[in-house]
Amino acid sequence: MNRFFSRSFARSLAVLAGMLIFFSLAVPAQTAGYDLFQTGSGASVDLSAMGLGVVPLQGVPIQSSTGNTDTIMHRTQDFPTGGGAAAVNVYALFMKSQSSVTFNGQSVDVYVTINNSGGAISTSVLPQPDALSGSSGNVTNRKDGTFDSSINVNADVLFVKAGTSPTTPGNIVASKAAPAINVASTNSSWSSTPPPNYPSNSCYPSGGFYPIPVHRGPHPVVPGKKNIGLPAAGLTPAQTTKLEPGAAAIAVCAVQTQ
């Protein structure tokens, strides 16, 4: 009888060990990486101090290789085993006013940008004329598939001649740092697998973490989607050819992902 129970106990331990190995392989750790987002409805910038009130915004795709992505977040740390906090910063941001406004007696489009890519995305693709304070915060994930986040955002505001491209310096009438904002979420969901039609780009590995944040504040976002052939928001089809980074940007990407 003792031998029987010994064999049964040994078999149980073997099964348990196998299950632990299976789950450790099936649920990989979430490492440092990038989150590709599209700006959702309700985004805005408060320019009341300039007499323009709250200006509604829409996203502008940054480059065709990341689809309709207009916001890229960079998680610079691995998440702790079992869940916990990791540092994050705003790597890139590209938004435009939904309609033109009058600034100093001139019709302009308002662009809101951040280019914290260190040259991986050229300023000829994503302009940021002014030096900015960092845009950073943290993301705390939990193994139940939820996470919290809090990110302080310091962006640039560009006033661009209405109907022209912000990538041509002569079109920029004025620029200045935007009012700082905080975007935060509580108990939003994440997955270790990408949502449908999510952009796949080796320059921006996810690290096995795909968030779907429900942000409080003036910049709601949803996961980005692959390029479906539509022109970038607010740009003509001819202008969208400028969205792809040049050879230098690709070289930087190659160094980053080695």
DSSP string, 152-201: EE--EEEEEETTS-TTSGGGEEEEEEPPPEEEEEEEEEEESSPPTT----
* Distance (Å, whole) CA 180 – CA 153: 6
Are the CB atoms for 204 and 187 separated by under 8 Å?
Answer: no
Residues 208 and 157 in one domain: yes
**Is there a single domain that holds both residue 12 and residue 108?**
no
Mark whether 42 and 12 lie in a shared domain: no
Round to whole Å and give the CA distance between 151 and 135. 7
Question: Domain residues for 103?
Answer: 31-256
Domain co-membership, 220 together with 108:
yes
Q: Which of 74, 66, 111, 106 is nearest to 90 (CA)?
A: 74
10 burial via Cβ count (<10 Å: 0-12, 13-18, 19+): exposed
Residues present in the chain in total: 258
> For residue 29, what pLDDT is reported?
83
Q: Count Cβ atoms within 10 A of the Cβ of residue 178 and give its class: 0-12 exposed, 13-18 middle, 19 or more buried.
A: buried
250 and 189 inside one domain:
yes
- Per the DSSP assignment, residues forming a β-bridge with 209 are none
pTM (2 d.p.): 0.81
Q: What is the pLDDT of residue 30?
A: 96
Do 118 and 25 lie in a common domain? no
Instruction: Give me 196's structure tokens.
Output: 């449908």
**122 and 71 within one domain:** yes
Let me know: does 250 contact 125? Beta carbons within 8 Å. Answer: no
Token pair recorded at residue 72: 């890229």
Q: What is the pLDDT along the chain (258 residues), one digit of tens a residue?
A: 455 445 554 454 444 444 443 334 344 689 999 999 999 999 999 999 999 999 999 999 999 999 999 999 999 999 999 999 999 999 999 999 999 999 999 999 999 999 999 999 999 999 999 999 999 999 999 999 999 999 999 999 999 999 999 999 999 999 999 999 999 999 999 999 999 999 999 999 999 999 999 988 899 999 999 975 544 444 443 333 333 333 333 334 633 432
- Alpha carbon distance 225, 145 (integer Å): 21
Shared domain for 35 and 24, answered yes or no, is no
Same domain, 7 and 35: no
Q: Which two tokens stand for residue 183?
A: 């975007």
Whether residues 17 and 107 fall in one domain:
no
What DSSP string runs through 61-93? ---GGGTT--EEEEE-SPPPTTEEEEEEEEEEE
Please tell me whether residues 5 and 72 are part of one structural domain: no
CA atoms within 13 A on the CB side of 86: 23
Question: Same domain for 10 and 70?
Answer: no
Domain count, the chain: 2
Task: Give the H/E segment covering residue 247.
Answer: helix 247-256
